[in-house]
Structure 1
Amino acid sequence: MLKGLIHIYCGDGKGKTTAAIGLAVRCAGGGGRVLFVSFLKDNKSGERNALKNTENIELIENPENVPFYKFMNEKEKKCYNKYCADVLSDVSEKASKGIYNMLVLDEIIPAMNNGIIPENYVLDIIKERPDDLEIILTGRNPSENIMDSADYITEMKKIKHPYDKGITARKYIEM
């Protein structure tokens, strides 16, 4: 049995979720079981359909419409925070059973940075995981404590991006 390691994909560049999906597909394609959950996203992104239809990947459903967190009113934030806490509790319980080889917590870092998910809760999941569970965390600006828990840290650095020219997210590419 291989020891499960902790990966962080962070930075201001494109590709954090894409890298996590690549690892999930590699794991599932090799016969491993993956539990995949995204925070601060709805069910509309194209990769969700592919992941739903990939054998050995369990994809946790998101709410149908998730506005940018900074645009939510206090009531919406409170409701979304509770939803995320409940999802993470469920994911933690599932991951602890030892039936998965990989847990992907997509955009968990901004969820922690926005106070949606307490950092210590994520650190507890990391500490209490089964020995062979690989965990992938994505998002910008991980804290020192989160980085200290990682075995791999890959920073995606933006050098040039179409958004800087006013080109918004494009279907099939960013959505």
Structure 2
Amino acid sequence: MKTFWTIVRDGYNVNPSEIIKARWATDEEKKNLTKVFKDLMVYGIEHHEIKNLTYEDTEEMWKGGRHVCFPGGYNDAVVISDSDVATLLRLDAERGRMAKIENLKKQIETYKKEIAFLSSKKLYTRAEAQEAAEKYNEKYNEGGEGYVPHYSTYTELEYYKNELAEAEKELEELK
């Protein structure tokens, strides 16, 4: 059975969503297809999700390639070469890595701000924070429901310091 690669976009999404190794419909399967689909229908064998490619990355493939379709819903697919697969998977992985780097940089900034904020406040142990919250609730809410401020703890500060260290380590490994 001859197999080949396709790139797919699902529904009305313009950007590609998967690269799928496929096969043509067998003679037996073609018996259940309408005439128009007999030479278009393909079946997936191996799937690779892609998250970071755009239509522009694959525009020439869509314009010049042989269009096929998969069963089970609206989709658009085009046959691509083995070298296209390797190139697209590499590009998707690189864009994913770059997006991860940008996300980590934002997380690191958030952790640094949180650490600076917590370092500027009075910190409590968990037990002290619980006690302070209960006292506040008794005094201002008469023991009922109502606003109770958050009392920051040493544990929270340590949490953000650990998260910062992990994010910085992961960022260094990605660079």
Q: TM-score, normalised by structure 2?
A: 0.22
More helix by share: 2
Task: Report the structure number with the largest CA radius of gyration.
Answer: 2
Q: Which TM-score applies when normalising by structure 1?
A: 0.22
